[in-house]
Amino acid sequence: MKKITLPLSIVAIIVASLSIYLSQKSSELVYVDVNKLLEGYKRTKIVRGEFEVKAKTLKSNVDSLVTGWQKELKDYEKNRSKYSKKELELKQELLGNKQQQINNYQQAIQNQVQEEDKKATQTVINDINDYVKAYGKKKGYKIIFGASGSGNIMYAGETSDLTEIVLEGLNKEFEGK
């Protein structure tokens, strides 16, 4: 009987300390800085780069249309003394219509650029959300706060900040390491 008591008590101590450690960890209050994650995540730069190329192409289409219209306007102003009254009216109407068309196109392009931006940002946010969820589950955290720098976490000790660890893991996963 005495022989069993010692190993049993050792096992009990180990189990107790392990459960205390695990319960402490799961109830620990931790956070990640979402802005830092967005900035530091390598996919953000790539997605942003792709978006900028798309936006630039769309905007350059608008610019070339505007330049063409401005040229026509200049020609009209230069030669308006040569036109008859009817020709002037027709020219004005044509220029007005064209301006309206360009404005509509410009508006549509702006909307498209905003939509592309929204899609690109959401992709990165999805990645971060997925990783943080999986990380929290794996490490046994009950809750991980997302600080965004606007004051929702006023103070936290250094050990509560998981941003760097999460960022490192997130980038590793993205790079397929």
Q: Interface with another protein by CB under 8 A: which residues?
A: 115, 118-127, 130, 134, 173, 176
Which lies closer to another protein via its Cβ, residue 93 or residue 130? 130
Nearer to another protein, 27 or 123 (CB): 123
Nearest distance, CB of residue 114 and another protein, angstroms: 10
10 exposed, middle or buried (CB, 10 Å; 0-12, 13-18, 19+)? exposed
- Nearest approach in angstroms of CB 123 to another protein is 4
Nearer to another protein, 93 or 115 (CB): 115
Q: How far is the CB of 107 from another protein (least distance, A)?
A: 17
CB 46 within 8 A of CB 173: no
Of the pair 76, 174, the CB lying nearest another protein is at 174
